[in-house]
Amino acid sequence: MASFTDRAAVVIDTQIVLDWVLFGDPRVQPWTQAIVAQRIRWLYTAAMLAEALRVAQYPALSRRFDAQQSTDKLSQAFSRWGEPCTAAPQHAQLRCIDRNDQMFIDLALARQARWLLSRDRAVLRLARRAQPFGLDIAAPEQAQPPG
């Protein structure tokens, strides 16, 4: 079996993490199964974790889910299946028009992730420009994880 660092990596934006951890969205299930089975590595930064925890407290979500349980579930998913990374410097050649999404792109490029999963239009618009860097940007249902 390949070592942990030899496996391809994925960066997942906040909405996709919420779809996985809180909503149980079947469209992300192949990816989450690959992460849990350790076929791929899920990379994240402290800022990404903080954003997910903050979004879980939004009124629209806290009306649907208990805020503390959401926080606990998200924290557990990040700590159990994610690989924490230091924040990456901004990438000069691949810039997102949404500043809040730049951290996902920067981390994916700095750590040479194979995929960046998002449904955000601003991020998805960069898909073609990301390919020369070896990065596939796609919605989870539009790409397949290995194995």
Predicted TM-score of the model (pTM)? 0.92
User: How many C-beta atoms lie closer than 10 Å to residue 90's C-beta?
Assistant: 15
Tokens for 89, please give them.
């410097």
Show pLDDT as tens, one digit a residue, over the chain (147 residues): 444 456 899 999 999 999 999 999 999 999 999 999 999 999 999 999 999 999 999 988 888 888 899 999 999 999 999 999 998 887 778 888 888 999 999 999 999 999 999 999 999 999 999 999 999 999 999 999 987
Domains of the chain with bracketed CATH? 4-142 (3.40.50.1010)
The predicted pLDDT at position 93 comes to 81
- Of the candidates 37, 46, 34, the one whose C-alpha atom is nearest the C-alpha of residue 10 is 34
